[in-house]
């Protein structure tokens, strides 16, 4: 039996980087995590803390006619409650990103007057123990007047459809028309126009194993909250919570340490955090909130469900793709928590990996009585890239062409890079054709014909499919103005501090909130390379804390950017520190110029006479405790804070044109499926994934991300879906029915990598945490190949495959 995974590098030699960057250093994080000594939010305890349980709506859509908490409050051990009415009195509605009509909806931390999805939080109960809070929640009386539920986005704008938000005057939340190139001419000149009636990308998310949670304390004297939580984008949470609670952002201290997975799904917990804050103040005690699996499935961060309707593709008969038109209908669920940014974020990858120039996309986002949508790994690009890949394979199928050849014919080429897309985004670097070749080699593409025959002899259908995906990283938040021109956001940033302590210890703080990406380790590698020491000498603080003053407006870990923004900040801060060490040493050695000095062996010395050596410990001691006699104008603190700011302009909002992301990592996946035609049951029997994220600081960590994303894609393609019945009940509210892959479900995996460094980033790196959506398409394509039938859905459970074959 072949090894379950093997890693091969690309045939050509990857530039060997001297130093720590480029080495697969073992992770610093592991020691504590392997011993069960990580600190996840539910591990944090405070004396006398109250445990919070949410009373949730059993209805998808209903008026709330009465709430009575008196029985619950009377129960022994209950500390108190919070209702929507109180929330509405104490807070302003959350800021809406959307322009009208979405801008008009009023979103509070608890349901006010109405519930709009099953599982929506209505009342919060706090008690002495978890169990008592749960018991007390059963004593809360809520009367509802049920309303018809809207569960299909395609019906959201039909006359008579139930309306979720009267303030918005209908279920339309946001719409926009994107059009670039000369779409009409392209279609007029095309040899063929291929029409695709409807493609559907389904609703699911990454179900991080740890659910959301918080422990919130309120310091009455200084009116400040300390929010221990696993929210992965505290910058965003603060911006949403501050105005709602009408407090300055410095009154909201966010503390995270270890986070059990995020994948974007831990960005929009600010409503629950507001509830915790209000209760911490009201009840004068720390509030502990644990989200249970079912709560998460019912209420948190579903990925965008999107239809692509009336798609038309202009092609030449030789398979050159000229352009496409489509209508994208996006189901946002009951509230816009990070939406409608999904309405523009897809445009980071408008043409996918392909050179077509004439594109029109009409984007419509509507509300439905389902859990609110917010970012999920590959946020809004995954949907669009699956769509472009579907076009490739459907066009190839229609024209009787090889999907490999159609891709290669249409891929943007390495020599085209940096490549400006029709809407002004700039793909920094990449070589997709070479990646595809490598992936095909890894899967043994030439031998697949024989495998197909073998499968046929066994009564099975074998199919192979390709998925190519771009992982656009480091957002330009100016794109939000295409959603709402009045927004005052643009650019991006991340912060790091690096200092030498009094005993010479190198201490780094990050603004990021890692959930397993190994930030402590890769940051240490970068610092060690600059200061010429060992990563073991670099202490990177675990997690995130607003008290460190190591954050800015966009700080957090999301949107594939740490390798650029986080490490860019680390590099900047370390170089500042390095320059200060040189200045200090120069002064201490009596006026020696910087060129005559060098870093080595954990200190700094005169090149020509290395005995003149100042260890880091001496540097730290001098500045912190022994600084008499230093030149007055010596501007050295050895405590350096750097804000990395990527080079962005504000996009042209009217033309919807401009650079929306700084880097474009890529992944190309190939999946081989074997279908039992009698049942539709199928397995992934072979798999290859090739990644290009520019310079890899820690190749093993990069490969880990590729593997994890692959597994998630397999789960999403085969099983995972948030499916609702016609009354708006979620049919997959836990891991029993929402099936995620387990160890036995994993195919053999071969991985490969090439490095196309980014010309735009401080280290030539690209963020790459989200690129696995390729797997969803590879499986769609493999099923199409095996069955000979057109696949129009991203979710392909056994029944759908069987139905394709009937």
Partner 1 sequence: MDVSVTVNGTTYARDVEPRKLLIHFLRDDLDLTGSHVGCDTGNCGACSVLVDGVLVKSCMLLAVQANGASIETVEGLSENGELTPLQQSFNEHHALQCGYCTPGMLMSATALLRENPSPSEDEIKKALQGNICRCTGYWNIVEAVKAVGK
Partner 2 sequence: MLLREVEYVKPGSVAEALELLAANDGARALAGGQTLINVMKARAASPDMLVDLNGLPELKGIELASDGTLAIGAMTTYTELMRSAEAKARPILGEVCATIADVQVRNRGTIGGNVCSNDPTNHLPPLMVAVGATMTVLGAAGAREVPAEEFFLGVYMTAVGPGELLTKISIPAGKKDGFAAVTLGADGTCLANAAATVNGSVRVALGCVDAVPVVVTAGSPDGIADAVRSAGLDPPSDVHASAEYRLHLTTVVATRAAEEAASR
Q: What are the residues binding partner 1 (CB under 8 A)?
A: 1, 3-5, 24, 26-27, 29-31, 33-38, 40, 42-43, 45, 130-131, 206-211, 258-261, 263, 290, 292-294, 515-518, 700-701, 703-705, 707-708, 710-712, 734-736, 740-744, 746, 749
Cα separation of 673 and 693, whole Å? 27
Contact flags string 102-131 toward partner 2, x per CB under 8 A: ----------------------------xx
Pick the closer one to partner 1 by CB: 36 or 590: 36
Q: Closest approach of Cβ 567 to partner 1, in Å?
A: 18
Pick the closer one to partner 1 by CB: 672 or 707: 707
Among 745, 748, 792, 793, binds partner 2 (CB under 8 A): 745
* Residue 179 binding result from partner 1, partner 2, none, given CB thresholds of 5 to 8 Å by partner type: none
Cα separation of 422 and 418, whole Å? 13
Interaction residues for partner 2, span 134-153 (CB under 8 A): 134-135
* Residue 48 binding result from partner 1, partner 2, none, given CB thresholds of 5 to 8 Å by partner type: none
* Residue 681 binding result from partner 1, partner 2, none, given CB thresholds of 5 to 8 Å by partner type: partner 2
Q: Cβ distance 505 to 583 under 8 Å? A: no
Cα separation of 224 and 231, whole Å? 18
Torsion from C-alpha of 542, 546, 549, 553, nearest 10 degrees = 110
Q: Closest approach of Cβ 751 to partner 1, in Å?
A: 9
**Residue 578, phi then psi, degrees to nearest 5:** -60, -45
* Residue 798 binding result from partner 2, partner 1, none, given CB thresholds of 5 to 8 Å by partner type: partner 2
Cα separations (Å) of 465 from 20, 461, 684, 695? Answer: 37, 13, 11, 28
Whose tokens are 């740490």? That residue is: 562
Q: Closest approach of Cβ 138 to partner 2, in Å?
A: 8
Interaction residues for partner 2, span 664-703 (CB under 8 A): 678-681
Those residues with Cβ within 8 angstroms of residue 110's Cβ, 6 or more apart along the chain or in another chain: 82, 83, 84, 87, 121, 122, 123, 124, 271, 275
Q: Closest approach of Cβ 253 to partner 1, in Å?
A: 22
Burial classification of residue 744, based on how many CB atoms lie within 10 Å of its CB (0-12 exposed, 13-18 middle, 19 or more buried)? exposed
Closest CA to 461 of 191, 785, 137: 785
Cα separation of 226 and 244, whole Å? 17
Q: Closest approach of Cβ 501 to partner 2, in Å?
A: 44
* Residue 731 binding result from partner 2, partner 1, none, given CB thresholds of 5 to 8 Å by partner type: partner 2
Contact flags string 619-658 toward partner 2, x per CB under 8 A: ----------------------------------------
Among 562, 644, 682, 802, binds partner 2 (CB under 8 A): 802
User: Binding segment for partner 2 among 164-172, 461-469, 637-645, 794-802 (CB under 8 A)?
Assistant: 794-802
Pick the closer one to partner 1 by CB: 283 or 746: 746
Pick the closer one to partner 2 by CB: 123 or 396: 123
Cα separation of 575 and 440, whole Å? 42
Q: Cβ distance 204 to 296 under 8 Å? A: no
Pick the closer one to partner 2 by CB: 166 or 678: 678
Pick the closer one to partner 2 by CB: 207 or 667: 207
Burial classification of residue 24, based on how many CB atoms lie within 10 Å of its CB (0-12 exposed, 13-18 middle, 19 or more buried)? middle
Q: Closest approach of Cβ 40 to partner 1, in Å?
A: 7
First to last CA, the chain: 34
User: Binding segment for partner 2 among 297-305, 346-354, 525-533, 738-746 (CB under 8 A)?
Assistant: 738-746
Q: Which residues pair with 673 in a beta bridge?
A: 463, 684
Cα separation of 83 and 100, whole Å? 28
**Residue 749, phi then psi, degrees to nearest 5:** -130, 130
* Residue 583 binding result from partner 1, partner 2, none, given CB thresholds of 5 to 8 Å by partner type: none
Interaction residues for partner 2, span 463-522 (CB under 8 A): none
* Residue 31 binding result from partner 2, partner 1, none, given CB thresholds of 5 to 8 Å by partner type: partner 1
Whose tokens are 């917990």? That residue is: 269
Q: Is 76 in the site for partner 2 (CB under 8 A)?
A: no
Burial classification of residue 47, based on how many CB atoms lie within 10 Å of its CB (0-12 exposed, 13-18 middle, 19 or more buried)? exposed
Q: Closest approach of Cβ 211 to partner 2, in Å?
A: 10
Contact flags string 294-313 toward partner 2, x per CB under 8 A: x-------------------
Pick the closer one to partner 2 by CB: 165 or 719: 719
Among 154, 282, 293, 312, binds partner 2 (CB under 8 A): 293
Q: Which residues pair with 642 in a beta bridge?
A: 496
Q: Closest approach of Cβ 734 to partner 2, in Å?
A: 9
Burial classification of residue 736, based on how many CB atoms lie within 10 Å of its CB (0-12 exposed, 13-18 middle, 19 or more buried)? exposed
* Residue 40 binding result from partner 2, partner 1, none, given CB thresholds of 5 to 8 Å by partner type: partner 1
User: Binding segment for partner 2 among 420-428, 510-518, 536-544, 791-799 (CB under 8 A)?
Assistant: 791-799
Is the omega angle on the peptide bond into residue 701 within 30 degrees of 0, that is, cis?
Answer: no
Among 6, 70, 626, 799, binds partner 2 (CB under 8 A): 799
Among 514, 741, 747, 764, binds partner 2 (CB under 8 A): 741
Cα separation of 292 and 53, whole Å? 10
Cα separation of 542 and 508, whole Å? 9
Longest alpha-carbon distance in the chain = 88
Q: Closest approach of Cβ 734 to partner 1, in Å?
A: 5
Pick the closer one to partner 1 by CB: 333 or 516: 516
Q: How many residues bind partner 2 (CB under 8 A)?
A: 29
Cα separation of 675 and 672, whole Å? 10
Q: Closest approach of Cβ 292 to partner 2, in Å?
A: 5
Q: Closest approach of Cβ 714 to partner 1, in Å?
A: 8
* Residue 658 binding result from partner 1, partner 2, none, given CB thresholds of 5 to 8 Å by partner type: none
Closest CA to 275 of 210, 220, 214, 333: 214
* Residue 260 binding result from partner 1, partner 2, none, given CB thresholds of 5 to 8 Å by partner type: partner 1
Q: Which residues pair with 420 in a beta bridge?
A: 426
Closest CA to 773 of 508, 470, 487, 564: 470
* Residue 691 binding result from partner 1, partner 2, none, given CB thresholds of 5 to 8 Å by partner type: none
Identify how many contiguous H helices and E strands the chain contains and give both numbers.
Answer: 20, 30
Closest CA to 526 of 516, 541, 547, 540: 540
* DSSP helix/strand/coil, 605: strand
Q: Is 744 in the site for partner 2 (CB under 8 A)?
A: yes
Pick the closer one to partner 1 by CB: 257 or 479: 257
* Residue 701 binding result from partner 2, partner 1, none, given CB thresholds of 5 to 8 Å by partner type: partner 1
Q: Is 739 in the site for partner 2 (CB under 8 A)?
A: yes
Cα separation of 313 and 323, whole Å? 6
Q: Closest approach of Cβ 771 to partner 1, in Å?
A: 13
Pick the closer one to partner 2 by CB: 293 or 413: 293
Mark out the alpha helices in 98-147 (DSSP H runs): 130-137
Residues that bind partner 2 (CB under 8 A): 130-131, 134-135, 292-294, 678-681, 718-719, 721, 723, 731-732, 736-737, 739, 741-742, 744-745, 797-799, 802-803
């Amino acid at each position: 039996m072949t090894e379950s995974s093997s890693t091969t590098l690309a045939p050509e030699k990857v530039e060997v980087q001297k130093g720590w960057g480029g080495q697969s250093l073992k992770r610093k994080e592991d020691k504590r995590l392997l011993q069960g000594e990580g600190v996840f939010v539910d591990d944090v305890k405070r004396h006398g803390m109250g445990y919070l349980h949410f009373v949730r709506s059993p209805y998808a859509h209903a008026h709330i006619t009465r709430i009575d908490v008196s029985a619950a409050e009377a129960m022994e051990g209950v500390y108190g409650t919070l209702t929507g009415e109180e929330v509405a009195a104490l807070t302003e509605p959350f800021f809406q990103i959307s322009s009208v009509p979405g801008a008009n909806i009023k979103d509070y931390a608890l349901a006010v007057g109405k519930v709009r999805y099953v599982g929506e939080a209505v009342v919060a109960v706090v008690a002495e123990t978890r169990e008592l809070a749960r018991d007390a929640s059963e004593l809360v009386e809520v009367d509802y007047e049920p309303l018809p539920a809207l569960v299909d986005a395609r019906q959201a704008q039909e006359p008579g459809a139930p309306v979720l938000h009267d303030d918005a005057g209908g279920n339309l939340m946001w719409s926009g028309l994107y059009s670039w190139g000369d779409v009409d001419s392209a279609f007029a000149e095309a040899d063929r126009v291929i029409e695709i009636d409807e493609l559907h990308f389904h609703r699911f998310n990454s179900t991080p194993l740890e659910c959301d949670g918080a422990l919130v304390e309120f310091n009455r004297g200084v009116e400040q909250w300390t929010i221990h939580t696993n929210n992965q984008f505290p910058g965003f949470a603060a911006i949403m919570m501050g105005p709602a609670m009408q407090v300055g952002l410095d009154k909201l201290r966010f503390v995270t340490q270890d986070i059990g997975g995020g994948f974007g799904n831990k960005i929009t917990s600010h409503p629950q955090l507001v509830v915790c804050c209000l209760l911490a103040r009201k009840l004068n005690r720390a509030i502990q909130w644990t989200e249970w699996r079912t709560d998460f499935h019912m209420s948190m961060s579903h990925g965008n469900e999107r239809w692509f309707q009336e798609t038309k593709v202009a092609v030449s008969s030789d398979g050159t793709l000229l352009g496409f038109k489509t209508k994208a209908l996006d189901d946002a669920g009951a509230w816009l928590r990070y939406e409608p940014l999904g309405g523009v974020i897809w445009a980071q990858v408008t043409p996918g990996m392909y050179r077509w120039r004439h594109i029109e996309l009409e984007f419509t986002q509507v509300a439905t009585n389902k859990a609110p949508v917010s970012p999920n790994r590959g946020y809004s690009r995954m949907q669009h890239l699956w769509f472009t890949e579907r076009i490739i394979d459907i066009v190839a199928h229609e024209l009787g062409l090889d999907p490999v050849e159609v891709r290669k014919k249409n891929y943007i080429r390495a020599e085209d890079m940096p490549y400006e897309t029709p809407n002004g985004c700039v793909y920094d670097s990449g070589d997709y054709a070479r990646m595809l070749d490598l992936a095909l080699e890894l899967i043994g593409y030439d031998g697949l014909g024989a495998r197909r025959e073998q499968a046929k002899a066994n009564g099975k259908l074998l199919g192979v499919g390709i998925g190519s995906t771009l992982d656009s990283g480091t957002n330009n938040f100016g794109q939000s103005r295409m959603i709402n021109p009045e927004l005052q956001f643009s650019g991006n940033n991340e912060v790091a501090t690096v200092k030498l302590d009094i005993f010479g210890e190198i201490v780094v703080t990050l603004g990021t909130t890692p959930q397993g990406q190994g930030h402590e380790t890769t940051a240490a590698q970068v610092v060690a390379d600059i200061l010429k020491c060992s990563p073991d000498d670099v202490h990177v603080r675990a997690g995130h804390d607003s008290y460190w003053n190591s954050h800015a407006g966009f700080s957090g870990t999301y949107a594939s950017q740490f390798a650029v923004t986080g490490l860019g900040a680390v590099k900047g801060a370390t170089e500042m520190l390095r320059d200060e060490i040189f200045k200090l040493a120069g002064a201490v050695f009596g006026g020696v110029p910087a060129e005559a000095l060098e870093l080595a062996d954990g200190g700094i010395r005169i090149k020509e006479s290395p005995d003149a050596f100042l260890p880091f410990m001496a540097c730290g001691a001098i500045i912190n405790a022994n600084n008499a006699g230093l030149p007055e104008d010596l501007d050295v603190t050895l405590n350096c804070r750097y804000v990395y700011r990527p080079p962005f302009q504000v996009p042209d909002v009217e033309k919807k044109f401009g650079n929306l992301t700084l880097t474009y990592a890529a992944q190309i996946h190939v999946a081989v499926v074997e279908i039992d035609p009698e049942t539709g049951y199928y397995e992934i029997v072979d798999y290859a994934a090739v990644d290009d994220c520019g310079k890899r600081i820690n190749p093993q960590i990069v490969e880990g991300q590729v593997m994890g994303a692959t597994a998630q894609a397999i789960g999403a393609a085969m099983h995972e879906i948030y499916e609702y019945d016609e009354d708006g009940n979620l049919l997959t509210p836990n891991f029993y029915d929402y099936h995620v892959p387990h160890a036995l479900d994993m195919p053999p995996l071969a991985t490969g990598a090439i490095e196309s460094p980014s010309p735009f980033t401080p280290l030539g790196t690209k963020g790459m945490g989200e690129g696995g959506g390729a797997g969803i398409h590879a499986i769609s394509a493999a099923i199409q190949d095996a069955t000979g039938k057109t696949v129009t859905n991203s979710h392909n459970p056994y029944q759908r495959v069987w139905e394709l074959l009937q």
